[in-house]
Structure 1
Amino acid sequence: VREGKTPVEAILEAGPARLRPILMTSAAMILGMLPSALSQGSGSEFRGPMAVGIIGGVISSTFLTLLVTPVFFLIMEWVTRVFVRKKKTRSPEEIEEALARARGAEPQAAE
């Protein structure tokens, strides 16, 4: 958006660039927790449910990262555009006139 792109263009450009690293990190975490989730040895009655909870959390956070965050960004961009007014920028001539009036002098005509 800072580079002059629309929010949709920015999301469509950033999405594919971020997809692979996010999915690879999530898959590594899920596959790393599978042995704990499926184990039958001693202590598995404590580690198994914890691993299942972690796997569910990773899946849900991946979903949030890939889908909900871009949609939330679009909604916030729309709210900002609709409800927040941008400050009017003034030309150097207008600023000079205002300064001259503040000093009590007559503004000089531009030549």
Structure 2
Amino acid sequence: MTDAQHADVLVQTGPEDVAHKRRENMDNPDEMQCYWTVSGTPRKTGRGGAMLFSDGESVWGTATITEVEDGKIWFRPIRTADGLSFDLPIDPPTRGFAYITEEMVE
């Protein structure tokens, strides 16, 4: 969780499905933002929260949330989660996203 106490979020998608949102595939990743389409306005997360990308078995990528709005979670380009090795705190959703709260990882 971030200092602002925004919940992190978990999405399920394979690396190949979001190749265009991955940092290593961009010419100017520091100038880019990407978004994940959601239903409604995410209320528990926000700027500085983390997005974890899972293939259903492990986390393969991470990104930092920059803002949320109705229908979208905006984030910095996805970085490969090299060196990260942990069990998924919750089952990844098959659609949309799921919040990861402090209680889930304790």
**TM-score, normalisation: structure 2:** 0.20
Greater RCO, CA 8 A, separation 6+: 2
- In terms of fraction of residues, the more helix-rich structure is 1
> If you compute each CA radius of gyration, which structure gives the higher value, 1 or 2?
1
**TM-score, normalisation: structure 1:** 0.19
